[in-house]
Amino acid sequence: MILILIALIALATLAGVLLKISANGESFFCFFIGVISAFSAAFGLICYAFSGWSYMASEYKADIINREYGTSYTQAEVYWAKDVIDTIRQLDRKRIELNGDLFREEK
């Protein structure tokens, strides 16, 4: 995730440089690419922030899952494979089937 952050910061820097070059009004192409880069960098950084929040929250989720089910999932496993963990829990679930009258006695 650090490499993604570095790439987003580089994109934001590139956008700033392109907008600085186009400040003279001579290059519309630099301005256009700079604006697109700035919007892309802003959108990417916002998505990165939400992903970081989710990654930090997965530590608490892992603690709760481990405490309740007696497992030993890590933060990374809960973040990257939460759908797999849910599938495994559904498969391992025990079923109790009740047929007939609940109040009758068995013979």
Would 97 be classed as within a structural domain?
Answer: no
Give the pair of three-digit tokens for residue 76. Answer: 């990374």
Give the pair of three-digit tokens for residue 55. Answer: 């990654």
Distance CA 7, CA 44 (A): 10
The total number of structural domains in the chain stands at 1
Is the pTM here over 0.75, yes or no?
A: no
Would 39 be classed as within a structural domain?
Answer: yes
- The boundaries of the domain holding residue 26 are 2-91
Would 105 be classed as within a structural domain?
Answer: no
Distance CA 16, CA 10 (A): 10
Distance CA 31, CA 88 (A): 51
98 DSSP assignment: -
Would 74 be classed as within a structural domain?
Answer: yes
Would 53 be classed as within a structural domain?
Answer: yes
pLDDT tens by residue, 57-102: 999 988 988 888 888 888 888 888 877 777 777 766 666 666 666 6
**Residue 86 backbone zone (phi > 0: left; psi -120 to 50: alpha; other: beta):** alpha
Cα–Cα separations (whole angstroms), residue 92 to 38, 69, 86, 95: 48, 11, 10, 9
Would 96 be classed as within a structural domain?
Answer: no
pLDDT of residue 70: 85
Would 68 be classed as within a structural domain?
Answer: yes
Residues 6 or more apart whose Cβ sits within 8 Å of residue 4? 48
Would 36 be classed as within a structural domain?
Answer: yes
pLDDT tens by residue, 90-107: 766 666 666 666 666 665
